[in-house]
A and B are shown apart, each in its own frame.
Chain A
Amino acid sequence: MSYIPHTESDRLKMLEQIGLETVEELFQDIPESCRYPELNIPDGLPEMVVKKRLKDLSDRNQSSDDALWFLGGGLYRHFVPSVVDAVLSRGEFFTAYTPYQPEVSQGTLQALFEFQTMIAELYGMEVVNASHYDGAAAMAEAALMALRCKSGRKEIVLDEGIHPEYIEVMETYLAGSDALMRKGRPDDNSACFITANPAFTGEIRDLKALAEECHGVGALFIVHADPLACGLLESPGVCGADIVTGEGQPLGIPMSYGGPSLGLFATTKKLIRKMPGRVVGRTMDAGGRAGCVLTFSAREQHIRREKATSNICSNQGLMALAAAVYMAAMGKQGIRETARLIYDKTAYASLTLGQLEGFSVDQGSSCFREFILSCPSPAADIADALQKKGIFPGLALSRFEASEYRSAYRENDLLVCVTEMNSKDEIDRLAKALTAAAKGNM
């Protein structure tokens, strides 16, 4: 197939058809000064010079690989096995568009099916869809789904510790609807109660107690669960969640300046017809051979727009594939060990940093991956000072303004993030750097 759309003779034929001779005549309605403006572009450069110039520019970036990195707050630095990129870069996957046509997309469909299956196991849920844009979109879709399931109830109740930016995304999703968002505890006006496990600030929640409270007032229980933490903790499904959402970036997806990431969405069989997004199912063809197809698509946006369960018309196929390859490569044991490492290192870091003079860690319950370090001076100042030395000690929570949906963070609060990538030595170096910064010796 030729990718050159038309030849010179094609062009002449087209011009002839409309009674013109030249392309210039075709554009004569455009003011002459705008027609073929001189562009101020320098002359071409040799490839060697271009490469050198680009490298010099990219060397000015600070990469998490070169820095002492304790920055989290939504996207995390985790180990990505090489096999993830190797599979992802295959042309069949890399260039594939939306897999509507099972006869040409078996590979993509099967990969999504495997992805769904593995996420279902991690979350302890019966059904998983083929993904959303990111964790925030998934959470907002879950809120909309709860409103569909509980007609007559208009309230979305938020637990403490939902990511402030996720709340903004939900506000956008709910704008124009008569749904009401509030923080607090669910009651019999609530369509759902949403919690995050671990919370934005790292605390691990008692999901079973929350599920009971929710179901007691007839609201759906929605858990935004970190998939890696699920390798260690009891799954949200076992604890009684009706919908589980998550950010899949920790599963083999690099931070990449903030995206693309991967929205996870799971629910129970009972609620499958209220679920947004697409679901890949496995079936048999007329010859008895196994094959994968999109299923439960009768209410999909492309079939029945006005009654669609969601206006989301794409999913993150390639990122879902990355997560599937990651989960397959790590295995059950690998994911569990990674989660354990993160948990233990977080505990070590919070103990170590909390004992530094002037610093403290107040969180009583145990934390996963993140915790709030209370600093002796504004956290943003300390972070700024350290970043100049290539040390990223965490996220200054003063970045998030107080909102009606959650309590304000204190100016001195630093959200420190520890993953399996941080060695004990790195944590000790951070402790020294923080002490020095607090004394103004940086």
Chain B
Amino acid sequence: MEIRYAKSHEWAAKEGDLYICGLSEYAQEKVGDIVFVELPETGAEVEQGAPFGVIESVKAANDLYAPLNGEVAEVNEGLEDEPELVNSSALKDGWICKIKSDDDSFSALMSEEEYKEFLKGQDE
């Protein structure tokens, strides 16, 4: 499964007809213990790079930015009771939502290698 990343540290991967999205390992580690995830609403139109949710950790609340253009098809309701899944399983059980999108906005994201390169510049 090809996984691609946004500069704002969200990931997306194609799953059937939909794109599944979440927060990157790097970002979940940076924000610390996550206590709440404000999920987008199902059916909401989202725009690549625009805020569509909030991640609240013990330290602060941070916006989540939509990695793709499209429509929210499904959200991970498990996060309502267990927001810490984003910390323990950022790329799997801690997924945020599924977006009905097009391949163009997906290919506009960074590849895994590019993201790794990008992160090298982040901590300097």
Complex alpha-carbon distance, A92 and B60, angstroms: 30
Complex alpha-carbon distance, A273 and B83, angstroms: 14
Residues of A within 8 A of B35 (CB): 298
Nearest Cβ distance between residue B75 and chain A, in whole angstroms?
16
B25-66 with Cβ < 8 A to chain A: 35-36, 38, 54, 56-61, 63
| A-B complex: 10 closest residue pairs judged by Cβ atoms | A298-B61, A299-B61, A298-B56, A298-B60, A303-B60, A304-B61, A304-B60, A307-B61, A273-B36, A298-B57
Nearest Cβ distance between residue A272 and chain B, in whole angstroms?
9
What residue of chain B has the Cβ atom nearest to residue A309's Cβ? B61
What residue of chain B has the Cβ atom nearest to residue A274's Cβ? B38
A274-325 with Cβ < 8 A to chain B: 298-299, 303-304, 307
Complex alpha-carbon distance, A303 and B60, angstroms: 7
Complex alpha-carbon distance, A135 and B117, angstroms: 54
Residues of A within 8 A of B54 (CB): 307
Contact with A along B2-38 (1 / 0, CB 8 A): 0000000000000000000000000000000001101
Nearest Cβ distance between residue B54 and chain A, in whole angstroms?
8
What residue of chain A has the Cβ atom nearest to residue B58's Cβ? A298
For chain A, the count of residues having a C-beta within 8 Å of the partner chain is 6
Nearest Cβ distance between residue B31 and chain A, in whole angstroms?
10
What residue of chain A has the Cβ atom nearest to residue B44's Cβ? A151
Most-contacted residue by chain A among B54, B60, B61 (CB, 10 A)? B61
Asked if A299 contacts B56 (CB within 8 A), the reply is: yes
Apart from the given pairs A298-B56, A304-B61, 9 other A-B contacts in the complex at a CB distance below 8 Å: A298-B58, A298-B60, A299-B61, A303-B60, A303-B61, A304-B60, A307-B54, A307-B61, A307-B63
Complex alpha-carbon distance, A304 and B56, angstroms: 11
Nearest Cβ distance between residue A275 and chain B, in whole angstroms?
13
Complex alpha-carbon distance, A85 and B38, angstroms: 44
Residues of B within 8 A of A307 (CB): 54, 61, 63
Complex alpha-carbon distance, A221 and B61, angstroms: 27
Asked if B56 contacts A273 (CB within 8 A), the reply is: yes
Asked if B38 contacts A273 (CB within 8 A), the reply is: yes
Q: 19 A-B pairs, CB-CB below 8 angstroms?
A: A273-B36, A273-B38, A273-B56, A298-B35, A298-B56, A298-B57, A298-B58, A298-B59, A298-B60, A298-B61, A299-B56, A299-B61, A303-B60, A303-B61, A304-B60, A304-B61, A307-B54, A307-B61, A307-B63
Residues of B within 8 A of A303 (CB): 60-61
Most-contacted residue by chain B among A298, A299, A303, A304 (CB, 10 A)? A298
Residues of A within 8 A of B63 (CB): 307
Residues of A within 8 A of B57 (CB): 298
What residue of chain B has the Cβ atom nearest to residue A152's Cβ? B41
Nearest Cβ distance between residue B8 and chain A, in whole angstroms?
15
Residues of A within 8 A of B61 (CB): 298-299, 303-304, 307
Nearest Cβ distance between residue B65 and chain A, in whole angstroms?
13
